[in-house]
Structure 1
Amino acid sequence: MNQQPADTVRAQPRNAPVSVPTDASAPQPAPGPAATEPVPATDPATATATATDAASAGAPSGEGGDARERRQRRDFRLFMSSHICNELGSSITYVALPLMAVLTLQASPLQTGLLAAAEHAAFLLLGLPAGAWVDRMRRRRVMMAADLARTVLLTALPVAYLLDLHSMPLLYAVALLLGCARLFGDVADQSYLPTLVGRDTLIAGNSKLETVRSGAEFAGPGIAGFLVQLLGAAGTLAGQAVTSLASVVLLGSIRAREEKPAPAAPRHLLRDIREGLGYVLGHRILRLIALNTAAVNLFLSAVMALEVLFLTRTVGLPPAAVGWVLTTATIGSVLAATAADRLTRAVGSARLTWLSLLVAMPFGLLLPLADDDWRIGLFVLGSLVQSAGVTVYNICQVTYRQTVCPPHLLGRMTATMRFLVWGVLPLSGLLAGLLGELFGVRNALWLCAAALSAAPLVLLCSPLRRMRTFEEDTGPVPAQ
């Protein structure tokens, strides 16, 4: 299952921001109507920039409405193209990096788990300050810097391989630094979209970007398996350096001007971090979403850390077959992304948030039943349904987050959520590795899949169960 852990969508949501007190520990005012109950899917690339932040993003003085819309369409296409490069490259790297460890360095289950932990450690170590830093900088420049860093890191591994210097410690270090680049790129990405298209078209914009991500996840593993079998893991990673460089060029071609944030008063890092934490933990729905997503991510990421090892050593599939199995498993994510707008209107945004996970996660129990015969289809089916559920959940909850959060807090809110929900990922990698060493890979997969099935039950004890849409939320209350 090449579905990224919950909350990895680059696209994300919203409508008119609400104002909040500077003191985020104080009770927050109720949010305005949320845009999570989708309106007809207006194309974000063609919509007029009605939001103030979108208007300031850059038309020259005197530019007419038609010219401004053409510029917005062009900029959004460039932004989406950079997403294609990034998501396809990330999806291929997701398969190629552990294959390099397993096939080239004969990594053990524990070492494979440590590699997964290293990739996500940045969200635990730097998750909170990243948001405060990003809110002080131009977000497009942060994304470009992150892509440049990825280019250098993905070039380093093939060079080390050619010089016979590759090792597991080197893979750990590169995975850690790739995670740092991903952290800053993701926080800036989610905070940049509302300034590019305007808040009235975020649902449609996020759906488009989520479709891009899902499509990359669909194509990436198959391409990765083929390339690893043809070129080796090192050659495959070298190719991904090119996609990261292409993303830099595309982002640099966006014409919309982004003003550097200019706070009226001196900013203090610790105060900014407290504001982000206070806003998230003081909001009853965001607090609940963070708790649930962290639980799902803990066990979903453990399952993902075991997949390549399970399919190669336990089931006995060659690299190309591993890639195609993971590719077919992402069909559910692609279908869910394209249908999310209609599903949300039919079922309700709040209801779909918990229902999507409650229905989909138990299908993970099919994964450990796989073998090198017809039963590999059980792995595909389980991954397909889980991917669909996670995709729908991501669109709903991230759209709500971007809708309810005021613009000046977007970076800090996003980083705080990433810290809370992705901070568990290093632990999940260690958990997967230890369980694999103690009980074997198949049994470890059983344990993680069972825990993942139970994780969404926390939502049944929440106000979401009694709500159809997020608009029925009465507003944030202070954390107790």
Structure 2
Amino acid sequence: MSQSAEVATDEEVAQKRSLWHDRNFLTLWSGQALSQFGAQISMLGIPVLAVVLLEATAFQVGVLDAAGLVAFLVIGLPAGAWVDRMRKRHVMIWADGVRALAIASIPILWVTGSLHIWQLYAVAFVIGVATVFFDVSYQSIIPSLVKPDQIAEANGKLESTQQVAHLAGPAFAGGLISLVSAPFAMVVTSFTYVASFVALLFTRDHEVRRPAHEHEPLLREIGEGLRWVFGNRYLRRIVGTTGTSNFFNTVSMTMLPIFLLRELGMTAAAMGLILSLGAVGGVVGAIATPHIVRWVGEGRAIPLSAIAFSVVAVFLPLAAMTPAIAFPLLVVQGFVASFTVLVYNITQVTFRQRITPPRLLGRMNASVRFVVWGVMPIASLLAGLLGTWLGIVPTMWIGAIGQLASALFVVIGPFWLMRTLPGAAEEADAGEVDATA
């Protein structure tokens, strides 16, 4: 074998090596692993604090949930344009710092005896604003960290880690809350955001900022991102399914703490255990996604997974009708939902990142998030009103039935006919993007 052939072979082997051998990716991954774990503690701790310690009503729980999500609706679109003008890693660093400080204020307020529900609203809103900037940057930075053919692997590893956090985090949070109370459990979340902050400081990317002379007026840049998403026949269907599912899932999830803690009489520890055991499905789903995509095809994996997670949502309110088996039923429901959502998310997020030009990544993700997360604060407020007017269980049924319709956007569409979805060049050549659509 010639020396040049040996060199080529060595280079091919290096290119095919797993990202577990990429120190730079591992630096980012380690910080995200810790912060995702910490986020699970606050996601359980803040509602438990509101329901158990502050005796929040159904409407107040709805407002609290909305406060953490409203930023996606209010600043989601301009955030995408701003992120496209900045170094995404730097945005993530600042966002982690803000989140660490905001969450640390909860135990301080509690110790001083000055914690009220409106202060939880304020903390949730600040964290939500920081999360908008973090998430838009996070979903846009991967192409500047890894090679194009490693994007799916990177998304799979990050989603797997998030699901491991979903698996261990709620159970740990439930135990921690029982041991030290919900306010003091927030200290752990604050420290994990600090860990992510430090990891990002040591992460290196090859992103090149757009020169200032290429910046258009903000509204024009926002419009360009919206046209890219909604002018693409694949992306607009994905947004339709994800947005509808998120809306009705939020109706259900907003009432979930009251449903479990009051209607079913469970403890915070039992609630955390249900969420953790259900999250096992997410871990399995992240591992299984590459095999499922190879088996049924990338295109078909999207509608198949959407059908599954929309149907299984009905089993959540069924727990109220079968209290004797409520615990195992909720665990199975969570497992199947997590599994299928992960298959859907990894596949569609990888596709979105692959076909979008780098200069539009932030605006693409912000445009998508504006819809699919922007509907969530509206759904949270609606859940609070419905929970007060109709009751908790009827509200859970409305959320479940609404989710059944969410899969229609991707089921009635081009995905069934395609094993492999197009890449950036194919999409441009085929003229799939219609800016007037």
Question: What is the TM-score when the length of structure 1 is the normalising length?
Answer: 0.83
**Counterpart in 2 of 1:82?**
31
Distance, in Å, in 2 between the alignment partners of 1:310 and 1:224 is 18
- Describe the SS at the equivalent of 1:455: coil
Match of 1:374, SS state, is helix
Secondary structure of the 2:405 match is: helix
In 2: Cα distance, 1:417 partner to 1:322 partner: 31
Question: 29, 41, 45: which is aligned to 2:19?
Answer: 45
Matched, 1:191 2:140: yes
CA deviations 1:152-171 (Å, max 9, x no partner) are: 00111111111111111111
In the other structure, the counterpart of 2:201 is: 252
Aligned position for 2:192: 243
- Of Structure 1 and Structure 2, which has the larger fraction of its residues in helix? 2
Partner of 1:414: helix, strand, or coil? Answer: helix
Aligned 8 A contact 2:248 2:398 in 1: no
Q: Distance in 2 between matches of 1:205 and 1:122?
A: 27
Q: What pairs up with 1:228-307 in 2 under 5 angstroms?
A: 228-256=177-205, 258-307=207-256
Aligned ranges 1:422-433 → 2 under 5 Å = 422-433=373-384
**CA 1:43–1:298: 2 relative to 1, 3 Å:** farther
Cα 1:450–1:266 shift into 2, 3 Å? closer
> Structure 1 residues 257 and 291, CA, compared in 2 at 3 Å: closer, same or farther?
closer
Runs of 4+ aligned residues of structure 1 deviating over 6 Å after TM superposition are none
What amino acid does structure 2 have at the position aligned with 1:421?
V
Distance 2:103 2:295 in 1: 43
Query: Which residue is 1:416 aligned to?
Result: 367
> 2:127 corresponds to which residue?
178
- For the 8 Å contact 2:78–2:222, the answer to whether it is kept is yes
Distance 2:240 2:377 in 1: 17
Comparing 84-93 with 236-245, greater Cα deviation is found at 84-93
Q: How far apart, in 2, do the equivalents of 1:211 and 1:266 lie? A: 36
Indicate yes or no: 2:169 matched with 1:220: yes
CA distance, structure 1, for counterparts of residue 381 and residue 215 of structure 2: 40
The residue identity in structure 2 corresponding to 1:333 is G
CA 1:43 to 1:340, structure 2 compared with 1: closer, same or farther past 3 Å?
A: farther
Residue 202 (1) aligns with residue 151 (2)? yes
Identify the match of residue 476 of structure 1 among 428, 433, 436.
433
Bigger drift between 429-438 and 240-249 goes to: 429-438
Give the 5 Å matches for 1:6-85. Answer: 42-43=16-17, 45=19, 73-85=22-34
Look up the match of 2:313.
364
| Structure 1 residues 286-435: aligned runs within 5 Å | 286-370=235-319, 373-435=324-386
Counterpart AA for 1:186: D
Whether contact under 8 Å (1:283, 1:479) holds in the other structure is: no
Distance in 2, matches of 1:246 and 1:235, equals 18
Shift of 1:302: 1.6
Matching residue of 1:111 = 60
Q: Say if 2:240 and 2:406, in contact at 8 Å, map to a contact too.
A: no
Residue type at the aligned position of 1:156: S
C-alpha separation between the residues in 2 aligned to 1:260 and 1:401?
Answer: 21
Unaligned runs of 5+ in 2: 1-14
Quote the Cα distance in structure 2 between the aligned partners of 1:292 and 1:79: 30
Evaluate the alpha carbon distance shift between residue 258 and residue 454 of structure 1 in structure 2; reply closer, same or farther with a 3 A threshold: closer
- Residue 127 of structure 1 aligns with which residue? 76
Residue identity opposite 1:439 in structure 2: L
Identity of aligned residues (%): 38
Residues 463 and 257 of structure 1, relative CA distance in 2, 3 Å threshold = closer
Contact 2:251 2:395 in 1 (8 A): no
User: Residues 332-357 of structure 1, C-alpha deviation per residue, up to 9 Å, x if partnerless?
Assistant: 11100011011111111111101101
Q: What is the distance in 1 between the residues matched to 2:215 and 2:349?
A: 30
Instruction: Provide the secondary structure at the position in 1 that maps to 2:145.
Output: helix
CA displacement at 1:179 relative to structure 2: 0.8
Q: Which residue of 1 aligns with 2:415?
A: 464
SS in 2 for 1:381: helix
CA distance in 1, matches of 2:97, 2:306: 35
* Post-superposition offset of 1:263: 4.1
User: Does 2:112 align with 1:163?
Assistant: yes
Taking the aligned partners of 2:355 and 2:409, their CA distance within structure 1 comes to 22
* Per-residue deviation, 1:233: 0.7
Letter of the 2:19 counterpart: A
What value does the CA root-mean-square deviation take over the aligned residues?
1.7
Worse-superposed segment, 182-191 or 254-263: 254-263
Task: Report the Cα distance in structure 2 between the residues aligned to 1:74 and 1:139, rounded to whole angstroms.
Answer: 19
- Give the whole-Å Cα distance in 1 for the aligned partners of 2:389 and 2:357: 47
8 A Cα contact 1:44 1:202, kept in partner: no
In 2, Cα distance between equivalents of 1:454 and 1:88: 32
User: Which 5+ residue runs of structure 1 have no aligned equivalent?
Assistant: 1-40, 47-69
